[in-house]
A and B are shown apart, each in its own frame.
Chain A
Amino acid sequence: SQQGEEDPQALSIQEGENATMNCSYKTSINNLQWYRQNSGRGLVHLILIRSNEREKHSGRLRVTLDTSKKSSSLLITASRAADTASYFCGKGNEKLTFGTGTRLTIIP
């Protein structure tokens, strides 16, 4: 099973600060994806990173992947109130396995 975890489970920061959340997994993977979920809605894709990549950027988002440690991190820089959401990583090979997510709250 690929049931790794995101941590922390919850994170509250001031607007303008950076937010970092982590995702771990247990067995080798080909791909890892980060998603955002606003309360009561579906997930929205943020970034896909492949096992042969170490870092990817998209706007204020930066994702790193360390295959030796079987972990990934998502950094959101200069956070905004609109970034308040839950963030999930999906990892795997044939299919994605999701964890329980990190609940991020941005305090205005």
Chain B
Amino acid sequence: DVKVTQSSRYLVKRTGEKVFLECVQDMDHENMFWYRQDPGLGLRLIYFSYDVKMKEKGDIPEGYSVSREKKERFSLILESASTNQTSMYLCASSLGPGTYLSSYEQYFGPGTRLTVT
């Protein structure tokens, strides 16, 4: 079974702190994704990566950066956390390669609920 793990289930940080959210998958998937989920807004794609050291902006990349130094690990970084980044963050992975990442089912982690105060 594919397993996607996220470093924390719950996280509380202060405004202005640098925050790292870690995601690890154990199935040698090429593609990895970071989403945030907010009531009334659904899931929105922040960044994705289709290979090591490769990254692509999603729909809402502002205020975030990512790092993928190893195939199995994809990190989301909030350079200076703000209260509007309080959200549920979901990591996912999928097989590749291919132009159409929508061709592959995504495996999601359990999520990190981040609160910025």
* Residues of the B chain whose Cβ atoms lie less than 8 Å from the Cβ of A30: 100, 102-103
Chain A residues close to B by CB (< 8 Å): 1, 29-31, 33, 35, 40-45, 48, 50, 88, 90-101
Q: Is the interface of A mostly helix, strand, loop or mixed?
A: strand
9-residue interface stretch from B11-19, B35-43, B61-69, B71-79:
B35-43
Q: In the bound complex, what is the Cα–Cα distance between A42 and B35 (angstroms)?
A: 11
Number of B residues with CB within 8 Å of any CB on chain A: 27
* Residues of the B chain whose Cβ atoms lie less than 8 Å from the Cβ of A96: 45, 101-102, 106
Residue in A closest to B43 when the chains form the complex, CB atoms: A98
* Residues of the A chain whose Cβ atoms lie less than 8 Å from the Cβ of B59: 1, 97
Contact B42 A101 (CB under 8 A): yes
* Residues of the A chain whose Cβ atoms lie less than 8 Å from the Cβ of B84: none
Interface residues of B in 64-117 (CB under 8 A from A): 90, 92, 99-103, 105-111, 113
Q: In the bound complex, what is the Cα–Cα distance between A101 and B107 (angstroms)?
A: 18
Contact A95 B41 (CB under 8 A): no
Residue in B closest to A96 when the chains form the complex, CB atoms: B102
Binary per-residue interface labels of chain B (43-54) against chain A in the complex, 1 for a CB within 8 Å, 0 otherwise: 111001000000
